[in-house]
Structure 1
Amino acid sequence: MSVFDGRAVLWATMLGGTRLSRRIGGRHTASPASACESPSENSMKTGRRHFVRSVASASAALAAAAWSPARAASDVPGTSAAPLSLTPGRWSPNNVARLRAVLAEHGATSPRYRAERRPYAVFDWDNTSIMNDCEEALLMHQIDGLHYRLTPGQFSAILRQGVPDGPFDAKLGYTTIDGKPVRMEDIAADVEADYRWLHANYRGLAGDKPLDEIRRSEQFRDFRAKLYFMYDAICDTYPVEIGYKWIMYWYAGMTRDELQAMAFDSNVANLGDALRKVTYESSRALPGRTGVVAATHFHGIRIHEEIRAVMDTLRSNGIDVYISTASLDDVVRVFAGHAAFGYGVPAENVIGMRLTMADGKYVNEYLPDWHFNYGPGKTVGIRRELQSKKGYGPLLVFGDSDGDAWMLRDFADTAVGVIVNRMKQGEIGLDSRKAAEQIGAKDARLVLQGRDENTGLMVADERSIKYGKREPRLLA
């Protein structure tokens, strides 16, 4: 991507985008941005301040047009001379009122505010601070570009690492396209054979063929579909810890700078992509031991301007911002901290998954004695890294899924837990039902925030619109 293309992508995203291309059923349509409430004169001025700061940050960073570890959150302007007020944007009106009340009671202008006991907020990253999942996007980006630092033997070992043999869950659809069981040992053998061919032939590994020629091969087609199928099947068939660690092991052999450069490129590419679900079918010419499978990936990422602005507002009101993510911490640090994206979260404020490093490179081993930062583990991480040092829990928590359900409800110091409403069941479904019962309450402990998955934009409602649908819904 050129400097100009990258700048255009991020400027369009920063402005909210009045026309976002989306592909549904093979047709391209234009989706208008959701209408905002008419802001008051004061909120317009505040909005302009958010905008000017975002423009300055994005313009300066994009001049480099590439990842650089020096372009970190420290490059983003710090707290304002005067505290910002929360602009309505596309927040539910009930949520604007609730968040403003929390700021008035706990922010820097409150008589009860104590600088030596600064409040803090914790945000989930994927599908909360952004639309879609940056690490799953990175998995597809890595597959598409064959960005590996692995010999065939090393690749083969990671392919099977921690995953039991046997069939994946057929009841959840993890079968061949003609309904036959898919066994881990069979699909792993097929993907291993594909990678051996790709490694021997691609000039970026050990061969001499360019990537565009490689991508036209049956081996690549088989590799992409079956490897992504494996990720989904592993996550849904086995405890989530197996799949969430497995996706990170593919970074083995990379330095931190190499991984973060790849993550930066993936972020920019996905911000410029349409929000579209694409189904990839494996090669019919090379069925292998498994047969033919299909895997669907949700392409595209969107910045949630309302989340980015509320982070800025919190900091300006003396409230610190932290991220708790179930992705690798170094991957999320690129999106959360690089000035190109405008969130301004320092690297040390990101709590996530961690890999072992040896000789400056990642190893396919989860860091010993580091908690698994998902579900109850996010509460463990907050208590370990924040509450134990500060002496108190988070004032605000933002999340969207079962991975966040516990931290949304576990801390007595939390005034409000904000749920980006994806109409899920499970643990987050329990939290969501409690939030639905409290809609409009002045002291609501949990609130729902709506989003339109077709545009990637929040909507001024508690209800959300699923991708490919038009009608908003409140609960699963």
Structure 2
Amino acid sequence: MKKFLTLLLTLVLVLSLASCGNTSTTEPTNNSITYLSLDGWDETVKGGINDLFDMYGKNSEGYDPDLKPYAVFDFDNTISILDIEEALAIYQLEHLRFAMEPQEMEEVLLTGIPKDKVQVSLGEDYRSSSNKDLTIATVAKDAAAAYKKLYDAGYVAADNSLESKKEEWLKTDDWKEFSSKMRWMYSAIGDTMDVSVSYPWITYWFTGMTPEQVYALATESHQFNLSEAEAGKWETREFAGPVNYDSLAGPLSISYKYPVGISEEMKELISALDDNGFDVWICSASFIDVIKAAAMQPELFGLKGIDGVVAMESKLTDGVYDNVYNYDAHPQTQGLGKSETIEKVIMPKYNGRGPVFTAMDSQGDFNFCSEFKDTAVNLILNRQRSDDAGLLSVAAVYQKEKGIDLASAQESGDTLFLLQGRDENKGILLPQAECINLGKTDALLFSDKAQSWYEMLQSGQYKTIGDMINDCVNITGKLAQYDGYKTK
């Protein structure tokens, strides 16, 4: 009996050890990682991001589910194709969704405009139809006067309660005057003034509205614009003022890009990051409720797995938005302010670590996509830029041609830069680095300026891409100063 029990115990012990041994040596399988697979990705982009999933994702060595790696995305022209805030502005104008009293409008439209710019000519690109100089003060007065007429006619509301009258007001000269001059001012301010003026200016259109009203308006706009995108209505449109309307500036016309969409590949990327154990953040220069409405309703817009949003904010007074930027929350989320906001709001949640993945398209994203030491991969949506975003596009193409992958980029202390092309005429990503801008037919890699920077890098004028990026102040002239590549 003792021999039998001894044999039995020995057998149980052997089986237990075998079971433990099998458990400890099991490796994660590829099935446990969600890889990018859609056809619209450039193969180098797809490979670089899939390498990121392996190197930093939930099956990687040292992964801590309590302190996840995280990604930070710009939204406009990065997650979206074209600009979601600009699309909302068009929707807001067409649907007359405002909460300001008529006597408030002119003051709001001049909010943040430097005093020395209010009465100064906007230059030859923004003259009247009769070739006269124009000022923001003049056009703001015209827009406010037309707004009062629309308001007094019972056409203006913060909600959609007057929607049944839309076709009626769209036929009026008052609406044509108001809409054309509001959108004209947006372009003029953006082209002639600092971004610290133009970026918050458009958000002051929400003055007097509650956060819930802005969120509802944004949701409606996003649903409408995404349906237009799915219908393939990608084009440039125009607001034109009425010719014989009594005004100071005369009739003005302004074009805008239409509509806005989100590619299936971008939805796949954000979902894959979430599936693979990354947190996902958005840092946008658009208004906070506008971005939350798109980012936090996956059932409507397909963006699954976004953990947080930081974006432009206005102060609240008695529960409604005032035309005052909320610096108590964080700096303006554009340019250097994006890096500063990440440092203030996001990094403390991750023990001071920076993002391992960033995504961008333009100058306003350059700082946060180049300054953090922890950033392993930076995705650039190609728009043939002539600014510092173009400089990072040059870095991406240079690395691609040198065969540099994520592992070799890290060995040299670099971020892996990835350049993704798209066709704005169809609202899709292209499996290449070249892009086709709206209204164009040729797929191009660089702007002329970026091409010259690429030739500088190829010629050996800069020993490393880091040297080139650190010389951005001299190369592009877009920044007065730069803290440095991978210094934060």
Residue 332 of structure 2 is aligned with which of 362, 367, 372? 372
Q: How does 1:286-435 map to 2 (within 5 A)?
A: 286=245, 288-338=247-297, 339-346=299-306, 349-369=308-328, 370-390=330-350, 391-435=352-396
Residue 116 of structure 1 is aligned with which of 53, 61, 66? 66
2:153 paired residue number: 201
The farther-off stretch of 281-290 and 141-150 is 281-290
SS of the residue aligned with 1:147?
A: coil
Q: Which has the larger radius of gyration?
A: 2
Q: Kindly indicate whether the alpha-carbon contact (under 8 Å) linking 1:168 and 1:234 is maintained by their aligned counterparts in 2.
A: no
Aligned residue identity for 1:170: G
Q: Does residue 173 of structure 2 align to residue 229 of structure 1?
A: no
Give 1:88 deviation, angstroms.
Answer: 3.9
Q: How does 1:49-128 map to 2 (within 5 A)?
A: 82-128=32-78
2:211 paired residue number: 256
Deviation digits for residues 370-427 of structure 1, max 9, x if unmatched? 2011011111111111223312111100000111111111111111110000011112
Deviation digits for residues 118-166 of structure 1, max 9, x if unmatched? 1001111111001111111111111111101111111121012122313
Q: Which runs of 5+ in 2 are unaligned?
A: 1-30, 410-415, 448-488
Q: Kindly indicate whether the alpha-carbon contact (under 8 Å) linking 1:322 and 1:345 is maintained by their aligned counterparts in 2.
A: no
Aligned residue identity for 1:136: E
The farther-off stretch of 107-116 and 261-270 is 107-116
Q: Does residue 141 of structure 2 align to residue 189 of structure 1?
A: yes
1:19 paired residue number: none
Residue 193 of structure 2 is aligned with which of 216, 219, 238? 238
Q: How does 1:111-150 map to 2 (within 5 A)?
A: 111-150=61-100
Distance 1:422 1:183 in 2: 31
SS of the residue aligned with 1:210?
A: helix
Distance 1:345 1:317 in 2: 11
Q: Kindly indicate whether the alpha-carbon contact (under 8 Å) linking 1:168 and 1:237 is maintained by their aligned counterparts in 2.
A: no
Q: Kindly indicate whether the alpha-carbon contact (under 8 Å) linking 1:82 and 1:316 is maintained by their aligned counterparts in 2.
A: no
Size of the aligned set, in residue pairs, is 394
Give 1:287 deviation, angstroms.
Answer: 5.1
Distance 2:277 2:173 in 1: 56
Distance 1:86 1:128 in 2: 17
1:160 paired residue number: 110
Give 1:345 deviation, angstroms.
Answer: 4.6
Give 1:111 deviation, angstroms.
Answer: 2.3
SS of the residue aligned with 1:419?
A: strand
1:3 paired residue number: none
2:123 paired residue number: 170
Deviation digits for residues 301-348 of structure 1, max 9, x if unmatched? 1112111111111111111111010011111001011121111355x6
Q: Kindly indicate whether the alpha-carbon contact (under 8 Å) linking 2:218 and 2:289 is maintained by their aligned counterparts in 1.
A: no
Using the size of structure 2 for normalisation, the TM-score is 0.77
Give 1:203 deviation, angstroms.
Answer: 4.2
Q: Kindly indicate whether the alpha-carbon contact (under 8 Å) linking 1:272 and 1:300 is maintained by their aligned counterparts in 2.
A: no
SS of the residue aligned with 1:334?
A: helix
Distance 1:394 1:162 in 2: 32
Aligned residue identity for 1:165: V
Distance 1:135 1:168 in 2: 27
2:425 paired residue number: 454
The structure whose residues are more often helix, as a share, is 2
Distance 1:260 1:321 in 2: 21
Give 1:358 deviation, angstroms.
Answer: 2.1
1:442 paired residue number: 405
User: Between the two proteins, what is the percent identity of the paired residues?
Assistant: 30
Distance 1:368 1:411 in 2: 23
SS of the residue aligned with 1:340?
A: helix
Aligned residue identity for 2:355: P
Distance 1:250 1:326 in 2: 15
Change (3 A) 1:463 1:168: farther
Aligned residue identity for 1:150: M
Distance 1:155 1:178 in 2: 26
Aligned residue identity for 2:199: Y
Distance 1:328 1:135 in 2: 7
Give 1:231 deviation, angstroms.
Answer: 0.7
Q: Kindly indicate whether the alpha-carbon contact (under 8 Å) linking 2:238 and 2:255 is maintained by their aligned counterparts in 1.
A: yes
SS of the residue aligned with 2:118?
A: coil
Q: Kindly indicate whether the alpha-carbon contact (under 8 Å) linking 2:235 and 2:439 is maintained by their aligned counterparts in 1.
A: no
Aligned residue identity for 2:151: H
Distance 2:52 2:70 in 1: 12
Give 1:204 deviation, angstroms.
Answer: 4.2
Using the size of structure 1 for normalisation, the TM-score is 0.79
SS of the residue aligned with 1:105?
A: helix
Distance 1:241 1:341 in 2: 30
Distance 1:343 1:247 in 2: 25
